[in-house]
Structure 1
Amino acid sequence: MEKKKLKTMTLDQMKDKHIGKVGTEKRDKYEFDLQLEILGETIKSVRKERNLTQEQLGSLIGVQKSQISKLERNTKNVTIETILKVFKALKTNVKLSVQMNEFDFEIA
């Protein structure tokens, strides 16, 4: 019996094949959603490192516990202002980078 050699692929190759190449609408949406998910997880992780409950963090920035919960699960409908308030309340340094075709813009 002949053994078949398995073809190995990098993560980027797998994403290209199954989601689409970089620059396609489907791939861009995937990458954007992934970044938002990572942002929510980062907020949750830092909040826990600071030994804060969702209610305590909400109190620090003037929102309800439910809004912190939503932020940690889904950052799609949140303003940059709220995200910056959260990170300030968590006493973290934030560096915001916006990349456009013609120039880059950073807030540190």
Structure 2
Amino acid sequence: MEKKGMKTYSLDEVTDKYIGKKGTQKRDEFENELRLDLIGNAIKQARKERNLTQAQLGELVGVQKAQISKLENNLTDARFETILKVFRALEANIKFSVEMNDSEFKVA
């Protein structure tokens, strides 16, 4: 789609050009970081919707307020178990999907 000499690019085209094509190490790292960022944002949003402070959520989960802050701001490599505990404390519906080669594994 062009307007007056300007070319538009899709997000995939820009990402391929500036981050790297799918399957490259740089792209995989970028996408992993993005997923972690999205998880942190989801935790923060759900916590706020439930009118909980970071300290209150930490108490429900059994971790310090600082750990919740780090999860929300993607400042830590949290254990999967901790992330699951946080979402359970927030009474979130958890779905987990892993794709390997031509098979898929889902946990709901």
Question: Normalising to structure 2: TM-score of the pair?
Answer: 0.91
1:17 aligns with 2:17: yes
Q: Aligned partners of 1:66, 1:75: CA distance in 2, in Å?
A: 10
Is the alpha carbon distance of 1:34 and 1:80 closer, same or farther for their aligned partners in structure 2, counting shifts above 3 Å?
Answer: same
Identity %: 58
Which digits, 9 at most, give the CA deviation of each residue in 1:31-69, with x for residues without a partner? 111011010010000000000000000000111101100
Q: Greater CA deviation, 95-104 or 48-57? A: 95-104
Size of the alignment, in residue pairs?
Answer: 105
Deviation at 1:93?
0.6
Provide the secondary structure at the position in 2 that maps to 1:67: helix
Structure 1 alignment gaps of length 5 or more:
none
- Choose between structure 1 and 2: higher strand proportion: 2
Does structure 1 conserve the Cα–Cα contact (< 8 Å) formed by 2:97 and 2:104? yes
Q: Aligned partners of 2:77, 2:16: CA distance in 1, in Å?
A: 28
Q: Aligned partners of 2:107, 2:76: CA distance in 1, in Å?
A: 20
Match of 2:81 in 1: 81
The amino acid of 2:29's aligned partner reads: K
The amino acid of 1:7's aligned partner reads: K
Task: Tell me how large the CA RMSD over aligned residues is.
Answer: 1.3
Q: Which runs of structure 1 show a deviation greater than 3 angstroms over 4 or more consecutive aligned residues?
A: none
Match of 2:30 in 1: 30
Does structure 1 conserve the Cα–Cα contact (< 8 Å) formed by 2:97 and 2:107? yes
Does structure 1 conserve the Cα–Cα contact (< 8 Å) formed by 2:54 and 2:68? yes
Provide the secondary structure at the position in 1 that maps to 2:6: coil
